[in-house]
Structure formats: C-alpha cells, structure tokens
Homo-oligomer: A and B are copies of this chain.
Amino acid sequence: MCEANAYIRRNGHDELVLEAVDKLIPENNQVCMVNIFGQQKTVKARVIELSLVDHKIILEEITNI
C-alpha cells in the first residue's frame, strides 16, 4: 500500500496526526486528509515536506492567523 502517515512537526519532534493517508488537499491554511479507512481529519497546517518512500507527510501548524 502506498499511503503515508501524516505528522505535525513540533520542536523538531514529529507527532502522528493521521495514519495511512490517501488523499490530502491543502486549502485556506488548512490541510484536509482522508485515509484508506475513510477517516477524515482537517488541521490548521501546511505541508512542509513529503517523503513518500518513507511514507511520511510532514505538516507544520499554522498558529499566527
């Protein structure tokens, strides 16, 4: 399976937000994600890095808006 786990990077540490993400749509300072189990999650964040071979999506929270 080729989904990836989404993490929020805080202080250099990556916290898991949603595993097995299939779809990800960034819009209006948010990131909407749906995983292969049909779970949805929307977080105030932006994508800072994808590392697909490692199955990682790294997000950064948007706090100053």
**Assembled-state Cα–Cα distance A49/B47 (Å):** 11
Q: How far is the CB of A21 from chain B (nearest CB, A)?
A: 7
A48 close to chain B: CB less than 8 A: yes
Interface residues of A toward B: which range?
20 to 34
**Interface of A (DSSP majority class):** strand
How many copies of this protein are present in the complex? 2
User: Looking across the interface, which residue of chain B has its beta carbon closest to that of A54?
Assistant: B22
A1 touches B36 (CB 8 A): no
Query: Do A36 and B53 form a contact, CB below 8 Å, given A2-B2, A47-B47?
Result: yes
Q: How far is the CB of A6 from chain B (nearest CB, A)?
A: 10
A-side residues, CB < 8 A to B, are 1-4, 21-26, 36, 46-53, 55, 57
